[in-house]
A and B are shown apart, each in its own frame.
Chain A
Amino acid sequence: MSILVLAEHHDGALAGATAHVVAAAKQIVIESGGDIDVLVAGEGVAAIAEAAARLDGVSRVRVADHAAYAHLLAEPTAALLAELAGDYTHLLAAASTTGKNVLPRVAALKDVAQISEIIAVESPDTFKRPIYAGNAIATVQSEDALKVITVRTTGFDAVAEGGSAAVEAVGLSFTKGADNAQSTFLKEELAKSDRPELGAARVVISGGRGMGNGENFKLLDGIADKLGAAIGASRAAVDAGFVPNDMQVGQTGKIVAPELYIAVGISGAIQHLAGMKDSKVIVAINKDEEAPIFQVADYGLVADLFQALPELESKL
């Protein structure tokens, strides 16, 4: 076995997701042994490569530092991965929007299937993954010589730091990546937030249609501050324009599995549950006692959120 993990990074820092993907890679090599390499592709990524080298279990960090990879656009990044793939039995990336964008393109370039969003490793060729919005768990086996896999980060605990892998530049001519004339990055509008990242937060508090409007989401701020929580939302709240779409938790948004998930004014549609039902403890606050969210909530409070939220904030 030898595994290549595509490192995820944002704003010059290694993303937490990468440590979860390395954890999945460690489970693949646990019996057979083998190397885990991390590929850091981007522009000006020396510090990110050093951070990746500290992850436990990593043998080698390969660095492709070039303007062509600046925003990890699918076309150059997939060409790079396809070129490196010959050295490996497995290619892994987080099931983030980056991983989902790039890896299927690599798989098709190598004429192999891709296995999406694994939540467990059964053996080096057999994996578990959720289907039908998490309402069924499929066990699948890949017969391909190269396994291309995205990893649901909430399925694997992050590896610790403490490693000291070698860092080396990828010896490529960059011809494939650099001549990417097909796609150009124009701009990015990233939501600014001082709160923990939704996917990695220990506590998440989410609002739904019951919040009424975007202004009322401020009712969640004080509680989130006291709990160190990230703030999420249901699709209904996003579609109604209360909050931006990157806050959406669900089948088509982010998948979270925090220790505590507090759903406020969220009815609990299948598509929302798909994004949060692996949370350790779920609390629902809803004035409709028939709401489906109460079927998955460990603790349910039937109450008007406009009274319950200020009270909760003051008593925490």
Chain B
Amino acid sequence: MKVLVAVKRVIDYNVKIRVKPDHSDVDLTNVKMAMNPFCEIAVEEAVRLKERGVATEVVAVTVGPKAAQEQLRTALALGADRAIHVETDERVESLGAAKALAKLVAEEQPGLVILGKQAIDTDNNQTGQMLAALTGLPQGTFASEVKVEGEKLQVTREVDGGLQTVELSLPAIVTTDLRLNEPRYAKLPDIMKAKKKPLDVKTPADLGVEVASKVKLLKVEPPAERQGGVKVGSVDELIDKLKNEAKVL
């Protein structure tokens, strides 16, 4: 079966972000960007399914600005066969992205779609679930284990109290949790080969969807700073401070 993997270009997870002085947004100029960590896990899982002979083709897709093609090339270097870029400069949030992805699902007819559980910029955790709703497919969110059993998919999900296993009919939508796998690194020869793999560019208009967000971003502020703390010299001093100063014991 064909596997579709959605990836997102986000700020590198190690970067300490800065809010713009006018509080309009986070400042992304000259900041290192990368593939969202959960999307790396999604690509890895798709590639492993191909290596096990379960998947026949892996198609990486993204919705976003032209620069997001770097992340598609990364996915190709990691083992995806081809890529589709839905190019837009609009501020796209989950519903818009899910609508574009739903059109690609209708065109490509994959047996499985894998996304990350959340992007580390907006922290929304919505797109996979929304895509499942729009395509009418079942969803296996926060997956830590995925097993294809014939026409069914067994997904072990990380839930608040522990683990939950569900069985889904295929095709299905899966979103990855951190513990699904350990993503590989792209090797130099694969990075070179990835440059020759096909990458289609479409626009939201080609797909007949509106991707601009309907939620207005009014303001972005830095979080309240914590007061600078003190270092204590001993366990006794710590207990004393917690009892008499902080009054939490």
Contacts and interface: CB of A to CB of B under 8 A. Distances in A.
A71 B167 CA distance: 13
Nearest to A259: B248
B181 interface: no
A191 B158 contact: no
A137 B179 CA distance: 28
B222 A136 contact: yes
B141 A133 contact: no
A187 B155 CA distance: 11
B215 A113 contact: yes
Secondary structure at the B interface, as helix, strand, loop or mixed, is mixed
A133 B140 CA distance: 24
A132 B120 contact: yes
A108 B133 contact: yes
Nearest to B213: A113
Interface stretch (A27-35, A61-69, A93-101, A163-171): A93-101
Contacts of B117: 252
Interface in B66-108: 93-95, 98
B124 A116 contact: yes
Contact of B17 (A103, A135, A260): A135
A87 interface: no
A160 interface: no
B138 A136 contact: no
A299 B155 CA distance: 43
Interface residues of A, number: 90
A289 B229 CA distance: 13
A190 B161 contact: yes
Given A135-B16, A299-B238, A101 B129 contact: yes
Interface in B103-129: 117-118, 120-129
Contacts of A103: 129
A173 interface: no
B17 A132 contact: yes
A142 B217 CA distance: 9
A140 B216 contact: yes
A296 interface: yes
Contacts of A139: 217-221
Nearest to B120: A133
Closest 9 CB pairs of A and B: A108-B133, A104-B129, A182-B138, A108-B130, A104-B126, A190-B162, A139-B219, A190-B161, A298-B229
Interface of B: 11, 13-14, 16-17, 19, 26, 93-95, 98, 117-118, 120-134, 137-142, 144, 154, 157-169, 172, 177-179, 213-223, 226-232, 234-236, 238-239, 241-242, 246, 248-249
20 contacts: A104-B128, A104-B130, A105-B130, A105-B133, A106-B133, A108-B129, A132-B120, A135-B223, A139-B220, A184-B168, A185-B164, A186-B154, A186-B165, A246-B161, A260-B249, A297-B229, A298-B229, A299-B230, A299-B231, A311-B235
Given A139-B217, A144-B214, A244-B162, 5 more contacts: A101-B139, A105-B139, A281-B248, A297-B229, A300-B232
